[in-house]
Amino acid sequence: MTPGWLTVEPRDAPLIVSIPHAGTDLVDCEQRFASAWVARRDADWHIPALYDFAAGLGATIVRTAISRSIIDVNRNPDGLSLYPGQATTELCPTTTFDGEPLYRDGAAPDAAEIAERRARYYAPYHEALRAETARLRQAHARVAIYDAHSIRSVIPRLFDGELPLFNLGTNSGRSCSEPLRDRLAAALAASGQSFAVDGRFKGGWITRDFGRPDAGVEAVQLELACRAYMAEPDRPAPDTWPGPLDEDRAAPTRATLRRLLEICLDWASRPGSPTA
């Protein structure tokens, strides 16, 4: 039985949209955090609404309601950094993106609690992705996994300057076929908006672990700067962050996102062997 915090919407197209960071549920830990707002601040805000067209393309949706501050299902389960030498957050984060403490003194999870969170929340998310990938692979030569994310445009601790609007990650070309990567990059270039391919964000654990193009599983991550769909204050505060979804900003962004999903779907739908 699927737990209530895990959403799995199975459909038949060879495309899975994974949304691992839009959750805000702090379960029974809210009082241990410095504040509930701080614990939720780094969520991928409005991503389900921004991709509300994906179901109409036949995409399977996998999403967790659990906050990334409880456990980050897009991190290496062993806790190893995906970006050695660069600032990042842990499997069970103890700091915000800005480096502030997440927990009150003495309230951070110990090794036993981290293991328990892995079993309760992390493992079911990845099991759902594997089950849906296997289901779709029975009917299709390829399946594309598209990992959908967003992040504030300016976070000096994590990256210099202002992040491009669209940040495509393919684990430096290892998690998807080169022609698919090229098509996605071309679509981003054609959008006329700023973008990067395998720049600061090369893809998290989901992209790196699932992406096996030679075995028929293509995986990409799209990290979207929040200014692409809502106003961003200079200094986020409880009364200004998150802002509402701005439909005027979101319209051209959605058009580009739809094109990216359509390219993934078209590539995965091609007949023949995975390497064709």
Is residue 243 in a domain?
Answer: yes
pLDDT of 109: 97
In the chain, the number of structural domains is 1
**What confidence tens digit (pLDDT) does each residue in 25-71 have?**
999 999 999 999 999 999 999 999 999 999 999 999 999 999 999 99
- Tell whether the model's pLDDT for residue 102 goes beyond 70: yes
- Is 228 inside a domain boundary? yes
Backbone angles phi, psi at 6, to 5 degrees: -105, 120
Q: Average pLDDT, stretch 192-212?
A: 96
Q: From the CB of residue 12, how many other CB atoms can be counted at a distance below 10 Å?
A: 12
In a domain, 1, yes or no: no
274 in any annotated domain = no
Q: Let me know: does 11 contact 54? Beta carbons within 8 Å.
A: no
In a domain, 37, yes or no: yes
Residue 85 lies in a domain: yes
Q: What is the pLDDT of residues 128-167, one digit of tens each?
A: 999 999 999 999 999 999 999 999 999 999 999 999 999 9
At residue 232, does pLDDT exceed 80?
yes
| Angstrom distance (rounded) from CA 151 to CA 46 | 11
The whole domain housing 223 covers 6-268
Look up the pTM and report it. 0.95
Residue 250 counted as domain residue: yes
* Confidence check: pLDDT of 250 > 70: yes
> Is-contact 26 36, C-beta < 8 A?
yes
Question: In this structure, is residue 160 part of a structural domain?
Answer: yes
Kindly report the length of the chain.
276
CATH code (residue 195)? 3.40.630.40
